[in-house]
Amino acid sequence: MDELSDLYNDLIMEHSMNSCNKKELKCYDCCKMGHNPNCGDEIKLELKMDGDVIEDLAFVGHGCAISQASTSIMIDTLRGKAIYEAKKIIETFIGMIKREITDEAELEKLEDAIAFRNISHMPARVKCALLAWHTIEDMLDERERKVDGE
C-alpha cells in the first residue's frame, strides 16, 4: 500500500487529471499514436521541432492515470531539449523502469519523471508508464531516418 501511495502521489495525480500538456498544438512537425491494448490506453503525441531542439510537445488521449501522467511528465521533461539530450533521457527512463539503471546521479536527469521509478514493483503497469516514452522514441527515430534520407 505504501508503494502505491508513492506511485499515486500528488505529482502523478495532478498530471493525470489536470494536465496542461493535454491539448492540440497549433502547428507541429509530426504526430504519432501510441496505444496499449492491455488497458486501452491511447495517446496522440504531437512534436514541434526547432532545428535539432524539441520546441514543444503536446498530447491528447485517454487511459489510466499512469499512462496519462507519464505522458504529461515526459513532455515537461523533454520540452526544450536537444535531440541528443532527449534520447539520453528516454534511454535513462526506460533503463530505470527495467531496473537496469540505478545510479542516482544519472536518474536525477529525469527530473520529475523519476516519480515512476517504483513502477517496476507493479509489472502489470510497466507498459502504461512506458507508452509515451516508446512513442516519442519511435517518432525521433522516424524523424532521423527521414532527415538522413533527404
Partner 1 sequence: MNSSDIKKDFPILQNRKESYLDSAATTQKPKQVIDAIDEYYKNFNANPHRGAYSLSIEATQKYEETREKIAKFINAKHTEEIIFSKNATESLNLIAYSYGMENLKVDDEVVLSIMEHHSNLVPWQKVSKVTGCKLNYMYLNDNFEISDEEIEAKITDRTKIVGITHISNVLGTINDVKKIIKYAHKKGAIVVIDATQSIQHMKIDVQDLDADFIVFSGHKILAALGIGVLYGKKEILNKMTPFLMGGDMIEYVYEQNTTYAPLPNKFEAGTQNVEGVISLGAAIDYIETIGYDNIQRIEKEIVDYAMQELSKLDYLTLYVTPNRAHHSSVISFNIKGVHPHDVASILDANGVCVRSGNHCAQPLMRYLGIDSTCRASFYIYNTKEDVDNLVNALNKAYEMFKKYM
Q: Give the residue carrying C-alpha cell 492491455.
A: 38
* Helix or strand (DSSP H, E) at 50: strand 41-50
67 counts as binding Zn ion under rule CB under 5 A: yes
Supply the DSSP symbol for 82.
B
Please, which residue, 1 or 105, has the CB nearer to partner 1?
Answer: 1
- Residue 101's φ and ψ, nearest 5 degrees, are -115, 120
Binder of partner 1 out of 38, 49, 79, 83 (CB under 8 A)? 38
Query: Can you tell me the distance from the alpha carbon of 146 to that of 150, in angstroms, rounded to the nearest whole number?
Result: 6
Interface with Zn ion (CB under 5 A), residue from 64, 97, 115, 119: 64
Residues of this chain that interact with partner 1 (CB under 8 A) are: 1, 3-5, 8, 13-14, 16-18, 38-41, 62-66, 122, 124-125, 128
Residues of this chain that interact with Zn ion (CB under 5 A) are: 39, 41, 64, 67, 128
